Amino acid sequence: MNEVIGIIIAAVLCWLNFVIVDSYFGLPEQPGVKGARIIGKDVEKRGGDIAGGFFQGNILCSPDASAGTLMASIGYMLLGVPGGIIVALLVFIGNRLCADPGYAGTTGCLTATAIIFLTSFIGLTPEMFIVGMVIAIFTIMGISQVKSSIILGKIAEKFNRHARE
Amino acid sequence: MFDLVFDTIYFASYSNFFGLSNISLSSMDCLLVYIVTIICSIGVALLLRLHLLPSKPYRYSFDVSALYPTPIIAIGIVSIFLVLNYTFMYNGLVLAIVIGILSALFVKYLFDFIFPKPLGENTGGDIK
């Protein structure tokens, strides 16, 4: 497959994967670690959405499905499907080291490994997923934190996981 | 003569002592190893009277259960063995059962010791 098209498809798949898994497991609902609360309050002060702010703080401060997807792509590139599963174990240990009570990281790793395995049949390579995941995180954290937090807040409302504070 | 080191290594790396690649293990064998590991770890964890599902709502994963950390730890360690081409006897099935049992025992008895629960909001946080 053409590399540019592959990277675009991989970026969309990665974005959907980590936003859906993270929203389902309640990242916008509450800050799992203390830094996430500070970031969420700061985003809200600048005119953003508190749920989106918690989401951004959580994916910044502890390994959640975003880090899981990125690391699963790297593990798959290095070692194949077992690499992706080893990465799930490593993300689980990382969650424990961060004292992050959540299921998102490990689940995101396993779903990302499954997605990369399934799309490898139509010619997407794990390298495309690494680049695509960097682009996907950039759209969440890099372009405009306030605007993306509003979008994430709307997605959180769809999942009935909006912050209760 | 009796060569302890050779015999030990030969027995331990029963299926692939002379080759570096996993020739003997097809992808279906790997899939079977994973399935056996998952079933074995969940089964032993249930025998050890762990709960099947974590406590609701599913936000706080420090409560161990049979479904959440046990199979993840088990298949992660099995993957490390597969990647290192160490698959022992019977296409890795013995290894799968042993790791399943050991990971269930780990989750039941050692997990809180190695990964202790974080202290509460008021008792231990050093970052304010």
User: Which value does ipTM take for this structure?
Assistant: 0.80
Q: Is B69 within 8 Å of chain A by CB?
A: yes
Round to whole Å and give the CA distance between B125 and B6: 53
E strand or H helix at A61: helix A50-61
Total CB pairs under 8 A between chain A and B:
55
Q: What is the pLDDT of residue B19?
A: 47
In angstroms, what is the C-alpha Rg of chain A? 15
Q: Is B118 within 8 Å of chain A by CB?
A: yes
pLDDT at B52 over 70: yes
| Chain B nearest-CA residue for A80 | B83
Which of B22, B26, B61 to probe by mutation at the A interface, max A CB count within 10 Å?
A: B61
List pLDDT tens digits, range B65-78.
778 888 889 999 98
Backbone phi and psi for residue A159, each to the nearest 5 degrees, phi listed first: -85, 5
| Chain A nearest-CA residue for B111 | A96
Mean pLDDT of B37-41: 91
Tokens (6 digits) for B99: 């790791």
Round to whole Å and give the CA distance between B13 and A111: 32
Q: Which among B58, B79, B115 is the nearest to A82, CB-wise? A: B79
Question: Do B83 and A79 make contact, defined as CB atoms within 8 angstroms?
Answer: yes
Question: Do A86 and B80 make contact, defined as CB atoms within 8 angstroms?
Answer: yes
Q: What is the pLDDT of residue B124?
A: 45
| Chain B nearest-CA residue for A26 | B59
Cβ-Cβ contacts under 8 Å, B30 against chain A: 81-82
Q: Is B12 within 8 Å of chain A by CB?
A: no
Round to whole Å and give the CA distance between A42 and A31: 13
Q: Is B25 left (phi over 0), alpha (psi -120 to 50) or beta?
A: beta
Tokens (6 digits) for A25: 């497991």
The separation between CA B32 and the C-alpha centre of its own chain, rounded to angstroms, equals 15
**Measuring CA to CA, how many Å separate B37 from each of B70, B73, B113?**
10, 10, 24
Query: Per-residue DSSP letters for A104-148?
Result: HHHHHHHHHHHHHHHHGGGT--HHHHHHHHHHHHIIIIIS-HHHH
pLDDT in tens, chain A (165 residues): 788 898 999 999 999 988 888 888 877 777 767 778 888 888 888 888 888 888 888 888 878 888 889 999 998 888 888 888 999 999 988 888 877 777 888 888 999 999 999 998 888 888 899 999 999 888 888 888 888 888 888 888 887 777 765
Å from A4 to nearest chain B CA? 31
Mean pLDDT of B57-62: 66
Cβ-Cβ contacts under 8 Å, B62 against chain A: 101
Which of B37, B59, B85 to probe by mutation at the A interface, max A CB count within 10 Å?
A: B59
List pLDDT tens digits, range B4-37.
777 776 666 665 544 444 556 777 888 888 999 9
Range among A115-119, B55-59, B87-91 rated most confident: A115-119
